[in-house]
Chains A and B, each alone.
Chain A
């Protein structure tokens, strides 16, 4: 059951990722990316990383993609300008190279010594376990996040407001 789900989600994730980089219409790319993010969210769920699952859906597939689509509409590319965005020889070559490298690396790590079992109990990703870690050992970094978000809020206003 789990492995069937894994294969379905993986195939969807990889296929939509390929579509994301190969479409020349940015809107099509953005929608493919949304599908990819949802599929990855599903993978998180099968790894029982529930918190990550919900964040991936809410923040990435939801809010961030809204932002991406806004940018696409802001730029409003012409057909002619979109042509340059599709796949080209060098881009395919470089990205395949990186992909092969990463896959080889992970494959070797999986088979090599000291490999890390991704579903070991250390990685219990339930909201409760994540919360325990955030609000005890990492409570100060957690407060720093609020400073970071505040700095970003100020930065957005400085750059984005019409009459600043």
Chain B
């Protein structure tokens, strides 16, 4: 059997399920359109400011830091596949890599870049 068939089955289910659910709710659910329903939800209070506002840059800082450490984690996948065969040197290799990035984490932490205010 082709090894991709289970994968394709998962993709197919992931695709069909939401389509079916959305179709059912639009067919079966009652529809009463009113102007107020299109407004952004502000806890029942009339909207005061435009809902779309500038995001603070600090979200971005967190996102970029996440991305960098995510890239670090990516290298753990292939390493995990072969580390038994690499032996002790493989451990050293990964230890050096992780130490350097751990120093990065220490830096970010100590610098206060992870604090929200």
Chain A residues, Cβ within 8 Å of B71: 59, 63, 149
Contact residues on B (Cβ < 8 Å of other chain), bracket: 35 or more
Contact residues on A (Cβ < 8 Å of other chain), bracket: 35 or more
Chain B: CB-nearest residue to A140: B93
B residues 60-78 in Cβ contact with A at 8 Å? 60-61, 63-68, 70-72, 74-75, 77-78
Is B96 close to A, CB under 8 A? Answer: yes
Is B78 within 8 A of A150, CB to CB?
no
By DSSP majority rule, is chain B's interface helix, strand, loop, or mixed? helix
A142 to chain B, nearest CB (A): 7
Is B39 close to A, CB under 8 A? Answer: no
Chain A residues, Cβ within 8 Å of B96: 143, 146
Chain A: CB-nearest residue to B98: A146
A residues 123-161 in Cβ contact with B at 8 Å? 127-128, 130-132, 134-135, 139, 142-143, 145-147, 149-150, 152-154, 156-157, 160-161
Is B67 within 8 A of A64, CB to CB?
yes
Is A73 close to B, CB under 8 A? Answer: yes
A66 to chain B, nearest CB (A): 6
Known contacts: A67-B63, A131-B81. The answer to whether A162 contacts B57 by CB under 8 A is yes
Is A139 within 8 A of B82, CB to CB?
no
Chain B: CB-nearest residue to A160: B61
Which B residues are closer than 8 A to A by beta carbons?
Answer: 2, 4, 7, 52-55, 57-61, 63-68, 70-72, 74-75, 77-79, 81-82, 86, 90, 93, 96-98, 100-101, 103-104, 107-108, 111-113
- By Cβ-Cβ distance, the 6 closest A-B pairs, closest first, are A131-B78, A160-B61, A146-B100, A153-B104, A131-B82, A150-B104
